Structure 1
Amino acid sequence: MVDIVTRAKNLIMTPKSEWAVISLEPTDTKQLFTGYVMLMAAIPAVCGFIGLTLFLGMFRGAMVLVPGFLVSTVVSYVLSLVAVFVMAKIIPILAPKFGGSDAELPAMKLAAYAPTASWLAGVFLLIPGIGFLAALLGLYSIYLYYLGAIAVVKVPEDKAIVFTIVLFVVALVIFLVIGAVANALRF
């Protein structure tokens, strides 16, 4: 497996050719999670926590809230890992309806690597008030899902746009649930 920095850079800069490499690369779920997903998903979690803590540090007494935000951050991080796993289970169910593969490993590769842009954009959470840039730049992940669906899950190009839209809606629902759970656990 390629190192994490090279993989992330290539997915952003040369996504089509990187998906071709990914499609042929031998790996397994454990390696994808421990070598990529767990590290990349930590970027928005850690940056969001640091940004919020620094912002709250400007106000006296607001630091009392930090332990609650730390718990919320950890819960959000764990739930984001769950989201990748859930997406990896949903993709092989949906892909055959669009002419793609129902194989689990390609689905896991797509679920693991497609959110790369969103995770990298999480660095913008370091500065409160510009977090919206993280959301905007994270939209590039939709394009990564599209390209990965074609290259890895073998969805025909003429059906890949609709497949990607369906995956986006599924991901949106998953992340709305995650957000609700994380907010409910905030102290």
Structure 2
Amino acid sequence: MRQNFEGMDISFSKIVAEVKQLILKPSEFWQEKKNSDGDRTTIIAYLLPFLLVLALVVFVGEFFKRTDFFIEYPLLKAVREILLFVLAYIIGVYFTNELIKTFGGEKDIQTARKLVAYSLTPLLLVSMITGLFPFLYVVDILGMYSFYLFWVGAKELVTLPENKAHSYILITIVVNFFVFSFLSILLSKLLNAYY
């Protein structure tokens, strides 16, 4: 199945192959991405199907979990998930790019986009599982694999002075984790306050 949306090539089999390689062989994956173009449309073509499937499974999971069959809360919960990951991506790219300069490297927005988008993959996959089956919340711990993927990717893609590379990676992971956690809590509070 392949769709084209204004220059975006969205192929299910291509995304599955990329996810498989990212999860199972992260070093090889990042070496390939180092030499490829990480433009905005490529990243959107990668993330868009994840976000759509995530919204669908969260909607279905919430809808069938409820005793009343009101559509409003499941719909808002699905929108919350999309907002969470879109904002986490945008803010994560900003901080990942800005911190490169802080640690003595040259800013590279393409590299920051690749790092953040592909590192979000385990979190997206885990969110799909827990969205459809909320009682499996313990599998959320598997989302921590995102940090490892970011670590491996940053070592491969980001050019920094040798003595500052590890500090950059660690600080960036902490900042992105804080951003994701803050957004998750904030959006949950807003959802609960509204509903």
TM-score by length of 2: 0.80
Paired AA for residue 130 in structure 1: L
Q: Tell whether the 8 Å contact from 1:43 to 1:122 is kept in structure 2 after alignment.
A: no
User: Displacement, 1:18?
Assistant: 0.4
User: Displacement, 1:146?
Assistant: 0.2
User: Displacement, 1:124?
Assistant: 2.0
Structure 2 residue 191 is matched with structure 1 residue 185: yes
Partner of 2:142: 137
1:154 alignment partner, one of 145, 155, 159:
159
Partner of 2:46: 36
3-state DSSP of counterpart to 1:162:
helix
1:170 alignment partner, one of 165, 171, 175:
175
Partner of 2:62: 52
Percent of pairs identical after alignment?
26
> Structure 1: any 5+ residue segments left out of the alignment?
none
3-state DSSP of counterpart to 1:12:
helix
Structure 2 residue 103 is matched with structure 1 residue 93: no
Structure 2 residue 18 is matched with structure 1 residue 13: no
Paired AA for residue 33 in structure 2: I
Aligned-partner Cα distance in 1 for 2:47–2:20: 15
User: Displacement, 1:148?
Assistant: 1.0
3-state DSSP of counterpart to 1:10:
helix
Provide closer, same or farther for how the CA distance between residues 175 and 114 of structure 1 changes in structure 2, counting only shifts above 3 A. Answer: same
Q: Tell whether the 8 Å contact from 1:91 to 1:102 is kept in structure 2 after alignment.
A: no
Structure 2 residue 131 is matched with structure 1 residue 118: no
Aligned-partner Cα distance in 2 for 1:29–1:95: 19
> Structure 2: any 5+ residue segments left out of the alignment?
1-8
Paired AA for residue 52 in structure 1: E
More strand as a share of residues: 2
3-state DSSP of counterpart to 1:139:
helix
Aligned length: 180
Partner of 1:79: 84
RMSD: 2.3
Once the two structures are superposed, residues 38-75 of structure 1 have per-residue CA deviations (whole angstroms, 9 ceiling, x without a partner) of: 2223444332332222222xx3x3x23x3123123213
- Tell which has more relative contact order, 1 or 2 (C-alpha 8 A, sep 6+): 1
User: Displacement, 1:76?
Assistant: 2.9
Aligned-partner Cα distance in 2 for 1:80–1:148: 19
Paired AA for residue 110 in structure 2: L
Aligned-partner Cα distance in 1 for 2:144–2:102: 24
Q: Tell whether the 8 Å contact from 2:59 to 2:77 is kept in structure 1 after alignment.
A: no
User: Displacement, 1:160?
Assistant: 4.3
